Amino acid sequence: MNKSAIHLVVFACNWDGLSCIEEAARGGLTYPASVRVVRVSCLSRVHQGLMLKAFELGADGVMLLGCEPGNCQYDIDAGLVTREYEKARIVLGLLGLGKERLVLCHIPRGDGPGFVRRVTDFIKELEQVRPAIPARA
Amino acid sequence: MARGVAIIGDSVGAAQAALTLAELGAEVKLIMSSPALSLDNTTDSASITSRERQLSVWPLLLRAASHPLVTLHTNSEVSAIAGRQGRFTIRVATCPRYVREDLCTACGRCEETCSVQVPFILDGRRTTHSAIHAPVPGNKTIPSAYCIEKSGVAPCRTACPLGINVQGFISLLSKGKVDEALSLINESAPLAGVLGRVCTHPCEDNCKRGDVDSPVFIPALHRYAADNAPSGIHYTRKAPAKSRREKIAIVGSGPAGLAAAWELARRGYGPTIFESHAVVGGMVATGIPRFRLPHEVREREVEAIKALGVDIMTGVTVGRDVTISDLRERGYRAFFLSIGAHQNKSLGIPGEELEGVVDAISLLFALNLKVGASVGSNVVVIGGGNSAVDSARTAKRRSKGVVRILYRRTAEEMTAVADEAEEAINEGISIEYLTNPLEILGDGTKVTGIRCQRMKMGEMGADGRRRPEPIRGSEFVIDADHVVIAIGQRPNTPLLNIRWLETDSDSATIKVDPLTLETRIPGIFAGGDCVTGPNNVVEAVAAGLRAADSIDRYLRGRDLRKGRSLEKPQSVEVDIRERDAAYYKRARMPAIPPYKRMGRLEEIALGLPLEAGRQEAERCLNCALCSECMACEQVCELGAVLHQDKAEHIDIGAELIIDFTSVDNGSDYYLQGHDTAQGTPLQTARPGVYTVELAEADTLEGKLAKASAVALEAAAELRTKEEVRPAVPDTADSSDARSDQSLKKVSAGTARIGVVLCRCGGSINSVIDFNQVTNEVLQLPGICNVWEISQACSEEGANRIAAQAAEWKLDKVVLAACRCCGLDQICFSCTDRRVMCQQHLSNNLTTYYGGNVEFANIREQCAWVHKDDPIGATRKTVDIISSGVARAREASPAVSEERSLTGSALILGSGIRGLAAAKNLATQGYSVTVVSGPESNIARESQRPEYLENRDSLLKQLDEQGITVRSWPQTIELDGSPGNYDTALKDGSQISRIGAGAVILDLGKMDGEVPPEVDAISEESRLGRIFARRIGSKGLEDAQSAALRESAIRETTGIFIMSPDGEAPPEEQALKGAAIAARASAYLHQGSLNPRATAVTIDSKLCRGCGDCAAICSYIEMRETSNGTACAYIDQALCLGCGACIAHCPTGAITQAFQSDKHISSTLEALLGKAPCVVEIA
């Protein structure tokens, strides 16, 4: 990977989250190639271990991209992912990496421009907080 | 032939009805006048505005359209319906799409290359889309295949005698594609450099831009293409090898002869041109002055034509040096006479024999091609045609004195091109109109002057022109030392010396059949000025091309006339207001100023400069919309563009018809007079035809309910005629029949993996460097082979993947294309091509569903969004593919336990909906049990007479169908597993048990938070828990929202709940009952039940019984094991597959075959460039 780029992992839920990423592509929008998407069935599938794993592997930031409240395909309580997200943020703070490296985004279904805006804004924020994670050997 | 049901319409209702019928095993033909099913069409109602709600319908549309039993007929307008129920024939007029639905992947490359923008309105804004475009620009559709907007033939094209695609080459020039523009011109005709300079441009005269400001400067653009094409003129590029041996002689190398030779050479012949002059080009060389048409331009064209294999013999006069008979003896089999008209007409007045009197042809020839020809100082040219003007202007350049033109009519009648006459005046030539020469005066040997007479315009003559009449007493004398007679020419036909050649006694022109240009003598054709008399270059070229076609037909022994016509195609009517054209000034041709022209023969017009040419081209209004420049056809690697697509009429057979297009559309094929009540879908007066009116005010749920109900009714109608219908072709059933080119199940770590890179017709590899990807992916452990295919979503693509998998003995395949997953779910992002890809693969690879094909989306998630960064995109592609490889390596095929499905239904609750559902399910042939109650509910409903009436009538019908209605017990316990529920109705000690595959619960019309029905249902029983989950946080969802979700992730529970719905009128309740019966029928029709591939499994050895998962998901229950400990358990058919329980399991006892923690972390490793480079040894 490009050493200077901001490495961003997006955990996207297969439903509304992925639909935003897909609409961005269909709408001819672009975003940096250092953004890497991991598709999961539902954000509630992602526990804090997986979020932290991304940082362990060198990610500069992790975005959790899921449905707006009430839109979940599985009627899963949105509190589940929020709890995991909060726990992971505490760990990030304790590790000195900074809580702001993990964000939870609920954006409307099919909002391609919204996704691109959020992801580019997040990259800009991360650029501000560098230097980031020491490169693992 | 008539089988199944025809559904007319493209609304969401039509899609729902199609899906329901298909799931019930009926063949469905979905006929729509629009080019595709789209979110726009289907959600036209005001009730659905947001994108979000629109997308929620998407899985339904996609599942309906891609169902194997559904055939889509797009762009199809129903014109008539014949026949009767059971054997209808629906006559449909199809509108061409010009793009193949089976091949187009909507990659959009054609759109990028398209040079025509068509105005349209998107969300109230005026904008444009390309002539080739997505069916609904800016929206998802099924099929996603593009379509081309065409509107007849442009007026410029119809005006061109050569049929040059004028709009096409102009649109290419507007995109700066000069080479392509010249090639397009050269598809119709040669000599672009000549025609661009001297053509009389009927195209421009017909140009609709003239109605806005002034016509497009078409001849200048024609010339621009010829002069500026970087590759120059290359006729050989598209010419076939010389394949025909027949010898053809062409007499005369003028534009007609050259054009004929060019066309014949393109058809594989090697014709010979005989030219009497030393110079090639006929009048183009000898008659047109060099300052209008430089010799180099002509010579370039002639060289290019020679390069095609045309032999030109100069200095040979046919008729004198060699005769036609001689040529016949030498083996020439066909002849084209294009000798032009070079013999000058004489004035027939005294003095023409004087020295200093010359004819225009000789003068032009001498001044054009000879060195040292001299001109007098007082030149008078007699005539008003092009040769008169050309002679005068040429003479002016050499003369130190006066040059004037005498013309007996007025400026309006001059046959010379007006621009050229104007230039003549600019150059200082005076034109004496209404002046007729009576006698040329001389001193005995040399000319000294002309005695003239003034004329006036008189009556209309036989030729449609007003005749000049002399004015008495107006005679006068003009001094002259050089008189040029330019009053016309005639062909020198006698010189040809051909017996039997029929000529006009007056004009000496050759008589031919105007359609074929054949003379009286078979095998001898003639065209150009020798047939028409002096005419322009473009008509001569047209004649040459026409003659070449005739000669080709003649030599092949084909009919000379068949399929040909002299009629011009009709040009399209254009409403210029629709074209949003703003005023934009026409380009001016830069020219050498008149004062610099004298004494020189350089070309005056300099040609449009580069940018000016492109801008002038942009002024084109694109009258015909698509310009047929063929750029899209060339860019599409899949061959999906089909410009020659035609409208056609097809007949579609059907047993029944359901029409969703509004009943008031005036269609008279129904035998008016529907017995529809209150907007409910019903039978029309014509048996077997149903109409459904989806009112604007209907909610989405209401529309879906109506559609399901009518579908069920149609299915019942089909059932009465035929007891057993074939089930849906099940992919699992036909697995035995598949080829043994299948992938095998193997243990992890040792798998032989192949990677397929899909080019998507060039759209992916135009951004991503596939060579680099191949090289890097081959370095990954376990990769045996990496290969490219042009298209993975076609039948052929799937075949190729299967063949390669077999050849390389692959265990697993990673497909890098646009598909994201191998699951049988349809999410909001899915597309028709992705579904097609899966269908073809599952037909070709046996163990496809076993996780042996892994997908990586490198189109929407890489190439498309990183087109500005090809290096980064290539890097990312490698990472995405290695994540796919990592997942493939670890994938263990999901074990799906197929189970039986009891073909019966239990209906709890006795609202009208429940009773209607029971009635409809019974009609479908399922055994039904109704548990009626509870009493409080019935009592309340019964207070309203219209309910009571409906209820009684339904109960009576149920009784007739032999359905038992049981009374409501104290408690209901529903156990067993999905597919085979076991219900216990308990009244004190009395217990009766009922088995059912589907359970429908009608929660009546209660307003309370928890309906009393639920009270009776034991929370401890399975149904109780399911209710708890369904009612859950959001409250009960509407039945049809659940239906929408079913089309995304399928229904596996077999439990259908109708939430309380207030005070709905009884008809609407009956409709909802029918709609839920439709869902239940479709579910039961499967015959067996497969849990979702996404369902979790719980390892009882690892479970420590903490119950965290059960706290999250009420489908999970805690059971006591034999040794007394607790253990979590889930019935796979109940699991929706979200995976939340996995995230909260502290021991890792819960796993999902497709997204274990291991999967996700290896995906992360690969995506972050940390993929392990060593295979773990299992």
- Chain A residue numbers touching B1160 (CB-CB < 8 A): 38, 40, 46, 50, 53
Q: Answer whether A16 sits within 8 Å of B828, measured CB to CB.
A: yes
The residue written with tokens 């939430």 in the block is B1059
Q: Answer whether A110 sits within 8 Å of B55, measured CB to CB.
A: yes
Across the interface, of A29, A45, A109, the residue whose CB is closest to B1138 is A45
Q: Answer whether A76 sits within 8 Å of B1140, measured CB to CB.
A: yes
Which residues in B331-434 belong to E strands, given as ranges?
332-337, 343-344, 357-359, 378-382, 402-406, 430-432
Last residue of a domain, one of B487, B504, B523: B487
- B176 and B45 together in one domain: no
Quick check: A130 contacting B, CB < 8 Å? no
Domain A8-129 carries which CATH code? 3.40.50
Note whether B955 and B915 are within 8 A (CB): yes
End-to-end CA distance of chain B: 57
Return the sign of the alpha-carbon dihedral for residues A28, A29, A33, A39: negative
Q: For residue A36, how far is the Cα from the chain centroid? A: 9
Cβ within 8 Å of B, A 46-75: 46-47, 49-50, 53-54, 57-59, 70-71, 73-75
- Chain B residue numbers touching A16 (CB-CB < 8 A): 52, 828
Pairing of strands B656-659, B689-691: parallel
Last residue of a domain, one of B1041, B1061, B1089: B1089
Residue B1018 domain-assigned? yes
**Distance, CA of A60 to CA of A79 (rounded, Å):** 25
Rounded to a whole number of angstroms, the distance from the CA of A54 to the nearest CA of chain B is 6
Report the residue of chain B nearest A68, measured CA to CA. Answer: B52
Note whether B383 and B389 are within 8 A (CB): no
- Chain A residue numbers touching B1094 (CB-CB < 8 A): 41
Note whether B652 and B31 are within 8 A (CB): yes
**Greatest CA separation for chain B:** 147
Instruction: Give DSSP secondary structure letters for A5-69.
Output: S--EEEEEETTHHHHHHHHHHHTT----TTEEEEEES-GGG--HHHHHHHHHTT-SEEEEEEPPT
**Distance, CA of B60 to CA of B959 (rounded, Å):** 35
Structure tokens given for B1120: 């006591």
Which among B1044, B1096, B1138 is the top mutation candidate for probing chain A, defined by the most A β-carbons within 10 Å of its own β-carbon?
A: B1138
Instruction: Give DSSP secondary structure letters for B719-762.
Output: HHH-S--PPPPPTTGGGGGS-S-PPPP--TTS--EEEEEE-TTT
Report the phi/psi class of residue B71: left, alpha or beta, with left for phi > 0 and alpha for psi in -120 to 50: beta
Note whether B906 and B973 are within 8 A (CB): no
Domain of residue B77, residue span: 5-95+647-721
Domain with residue B635: its CATH number is 3.30.70
Which among B1050, B1164, B1165, B1170 is the top mutation candidate for probing chain A, defined by the most A β-carbons within 10 Å of its own β-carbon?
A: B1164
- B1037 and B919 together in one domain: yes
Structure tokens given for B807: 């050849």
Q: If residue B261 lies in a helix (H) or strand (E), which one and from where to where? A: helix B255-266
The residue written with tokens 């034999």 in the block is B1122
Residues of chain B with pLDDT under 50: 1-2, 44-49, 664-666, 668, 670-681, 723-742, 746, 849, 1006-1009, 1033-1034, 1173-1178
Note whether B717 and B656 are within 8 A (CB): yes
Strand order in the sheet with B87-94: B76-84, B87-94, B648-654
Domain with residue B1079: its CATH number is 3.50.50.60
- B882 and B907 together in one domain: no
Note whether B847 and B745 are within 8 A (CB): yes
- B507 and B551 together in one domain: yes
**Distance, CA of B169 to CA of A32 (rounded, Å):** 38
Q: B249 - beta bridge partners? A: B272, B335
The pLDDT, as a whole number, for residue B627 is: 94
Return the sign of the alpha-carbon dihedral for residues B401, B407, B411, B414: negative
Give percent of chain A with pLDDT exceeding 90.
Answer: 68
Residue B495 domain-assigned? yes
The pLDDT, as a whole number, for residue B662 is: 60
The residue written with tokens 């009592």 in the block is B939
Residue B322 domain-assigned? yes
Q: Answer whether A41 sits within 8 Å of B1139, measured CB to CB.
A: yes
Q: If residue B300 lies in a helix (H) or strand (E), which one and from where to where? A: helix B295-307
Report the candidate in B220, B225, B288 with the shortest Cα–Cα distance to residue B607.
Answer: B220
- B912 and B993 together in one domain: yes
Report the phi/psi class of residue B335: left, alpha or beta, with left for phi > 0 and alpha for psi in -120 to 50: beta
Instruction: Give DSSP secondary structure letters for B101-156.
Output: TTT-----HHHHH---EEEEEETTEEEEEESEE-SSTTS-EES---EE-B-SB-HH
Residue B1174 domain-assigned? no
Note whether B1138 and B862 are within 8 A (CB): no
- Chain A residue numbers touching B1029 (CB-CB < 8 A): 75
**Distance, CA of B1157 to CA of B1164 (rounded, Å):** 10
Structure tokens given for B202: 């009927």
pLDDT in tens, B1091-1127: 888 899 999 999 999 999 998 888 888 988 888 889 9
**Distance, CA of B1062 to CA of B773 (rounded, Å):** 61
- B403 and B450 together in one domain: yes
Residue B731 domain-assigned? no
Quick check: B1034 contacting A, CB < 8 Å? yes
- B933 and B1071 together in one domain: yes
- Chain A residue numbers touching B1033 (CB-CB < 8 A): 75, 77
ipTM score of complex: 0.95
Quick check: B1157 contacting A, CB < 8 Å? yes
Query: CA distances (Å), B461 to each of B92, B205, B346, B457, in order?
Result: 55, 26, 21, 11
- B334 and B430 together in one domain: no
Pairing of strands B343-344, B357-359: unpaired
Across the interface, of B825, B875, B1144, the residue whose CB is closest to A33 is B875
- Chain B residue numbers touching A73 (CB-CB < 8 A): 1045, 1048-1049, 1136, 1138
The pLDDT, as a whole number, for residue B125 is: 80
**Distance, CA of B740 to CA of B763 (rounded, Å):** 33
- B69 and B204 together in one domain: no
Q: Answer whether A5 sits within 8 Å of B872, measured CB to CB.
A: yes
- B435 and B531 together in one domain: no
Q: Answer whether B1034 sits within 8 Å of A38, measured CB to CB.
A: no
Report the candidate in B914, B1136, B940, B908 with the shortest Cα–Cα distance to residue B1018.
Answer: B908
Domain with residue B1141: its CATH number is 3.30.70.20
Residue B964 domain-assigned? yes
Amino acid at the residue B692: V
Return the sign of the alpha-carbon dihedral for residues B388, B393, B394, B396: positive
Number of H helices, E strands in chain A: 4, 4
Quick check: B1032 contacting A, CB < 8 Å? yes
- B1010 and B917 together in one domain: yes
- B869 and B993 together in one domain: no
Report the residue of chain A nearest B1171, measured CA to CA. Answer: A57
End-to-end CA distance of chain A: 15
The residue written with tokens 């040669």 in the block is B190
Note whether A45 and B1142 are within 8 A (CB): yes
Quick check: B51 contacting A, CB < 8 Å? yes
Residue B34 domain-assigned? yes
Quick check: B820 contacting A, CB < 8 Å? yes
Quick check: A80 contacting B, CB < 8 Å? yes
What's the angle, vertex CA A99, arms to CA A93 and CA A102, rounded to 5?
135
Residue B762 domain-assigned? yes
Note whether B171 and B647 are within 8 A (CB): no
Q: Answer whether A1 sits within 8 Å of B1139, measured CB to CB.
A: no
Indicate the number of domains in chain B: 8
- Chain B residue numbers touching A50 (CB-CB < 8 A): 1157, 1160-1161, 1164
Q: Answer whether A75 sits within 8 Å of B821, measured CB to CB.
A: no
Rounded to a whole number of angstroms, the distance from the CA of A71 to the nearest CA of chain B is 9
